[in-house]
């Protein structure tokens, strides 16, 4: 299943954030019917931001609690390694310090990227991929894979909480949710297998927050969660979390003793 998802993600969303932004803007101007949302659809809300934030936390508190529990379990085991990295660095590697400013910027950027621009671009990508891969012959294998396999699995895995968003709208929207969230999950691969799985759940439920309360609420929840996680990590280890990027590595990974 992960390999299938990876292959479909490469097919539907083979480009990065910059090109996605250009594509979304171009489609908004030239073919606005391709993406069934306006640019500002998820940026507006009809309630105070604090009300939207508290309602969002109440909506997805189990996944937030699970993530914080993982931090409480892992941080004590990482105390010595994290202190060694903070004090002495790692030879032949770049060390990224995850302080408040980086957490704030990264959390907001991830929501804008994965819950908005890449999500919008993936809707267009799914539609195009379905047409090119035999959709023009009225066979639609891409649509079938999502509607009959991937979406039901995701609906079951998220306990039906995103049932409306995944099954009652356009299939390309559901495909875009899964594709963009797959990118979000893979960006957290450095957290290990458990963190990789949890990131998928976190991303899916942040999509739920966005659909229910808007993108600003999703940003607020993501920022608040990361700040609480940062505070727990500092309280347990005595230092801000560090991520080590080894030379010739594809991406960051946690330091291993």
H helix or E strand, kind and range, residue 225: helix 215-237
Distance from C-alpha of 227 to C-alpha of 38, rounded to nearest angstrom: 31
Indicate the pLDDT class of residue 257, thresholds 50, 70 and 90: very low
Q: Two tokens at 160?
A: 């039906």
Handedness of CA 162, 112, 63, 81 (dihedral sign): positive
Number of Cβ within a 10 Å radius of residue 80: 11
Q: What is the pLDDT of residues 157-212, one digit of tens each?
A: 999 999 999 999 999 999 999 999 999 999 888 788 888 999 999 999 999 999 99
pTM of the model: 0.90
Asked if residues 178 and 5 have their Cβ atoms less than 8 Å apart, the reply is: yes
Dihedral angle of Cα 57, 61, 63, 66, to the nearest 10 degrees: 130
- The whole-number pLDDT of residue 256 equals 38
pLDDT digits (tens, 9 = 90+) for 28-50: 999 999 999 999 999 988 889 99
Angle at 99 between CA 97 and CA 102, to 5 degrees: 90
Q: Which residues pair with 96 in a beta bridge?
A: 243
Which phi and psi angles does 195 have, rounded to 5°?
-65, -35
Predicted confidence (pLDDT) at residue 8 exceeds the cutoff of 50 = yes
CA dihedral 221, 224, 226, 232 (to 10 degrees): -140
CA dist 124 and 25 (Å) reads 12
Q: What is the mean pLDDT of residues 229-252?
A: 81
Say whether pLDDT at 148 is over 60: yes
Q: In whole angstroms, what separates CA 229 from the centre of its chain?
A: 17
What DSSP state is assigned to residue 42? G
- Percent of the chain's residues with pLDDT above 90: 67
Task: Check whether 7 has a pLDDT greater than 70.
Answer: no
4 pLDDT higher than 70: no
Distances (CA, A) of 203 to 76, 83, 85, 91: 26, 30, 29, 34
- Whether 1 has a pLDDT exceeding 60, the answer reads no
Question: pLDDT value at position 9?
Answer: 60
């Amino acid at each position: 299943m992960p390999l299938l998802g990876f292959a479909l993600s490469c097919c539907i969303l083979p480009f990065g954030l910059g090109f996605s932004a250009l594509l979304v803007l171009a489609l908004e101007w030239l073919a606005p019917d391709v993406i069934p949302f306006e640019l500002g659809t998820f940026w507006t809300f009809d309630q105070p931001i604090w009300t939207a934030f508290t309602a969002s936390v109440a909506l997805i508190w189990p996944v937030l609690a699970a993530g914080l529990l993982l931090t409480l379990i892992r941080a004590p085991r990482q105390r010595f390694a994290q202190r060694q990295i903070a004090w002495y660095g790692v030879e032949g590697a770049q060390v990224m310090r995850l302080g408040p400013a980086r957490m704030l910027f990264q959390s907001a950027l991830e929501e804008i990227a994965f819950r908005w621009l890449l999500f919008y671009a993936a809707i267009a990508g799914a539609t195009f991929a379905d047409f090119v891969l035999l959709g023009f012959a009225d066979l639609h294998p891409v649509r079938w894979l999502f509607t009959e396999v991937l979406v039901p699995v995701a609906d079951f895995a998220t306990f039906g909480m995103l049932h409306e968003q995944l099954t009652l709208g356009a299939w390309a929207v559901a495909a875009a949710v899964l594709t963009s969230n797959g990118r979000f999950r893979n960006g957290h691969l450095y957290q290990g297998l458990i963190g990789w799985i949890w990131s998928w759940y976190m991303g899916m439920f942040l999509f739920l927050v966005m659909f229910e309360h808007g993108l600003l609420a999703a940003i607020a929840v993501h920022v608040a969660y990361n700040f609480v996680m940062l505070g727990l990590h500092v309280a347990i280890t005595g230092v801000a979390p560090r991520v080590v990027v080894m030379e010739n590595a594809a991406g960051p990974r946690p330091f291993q003793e």
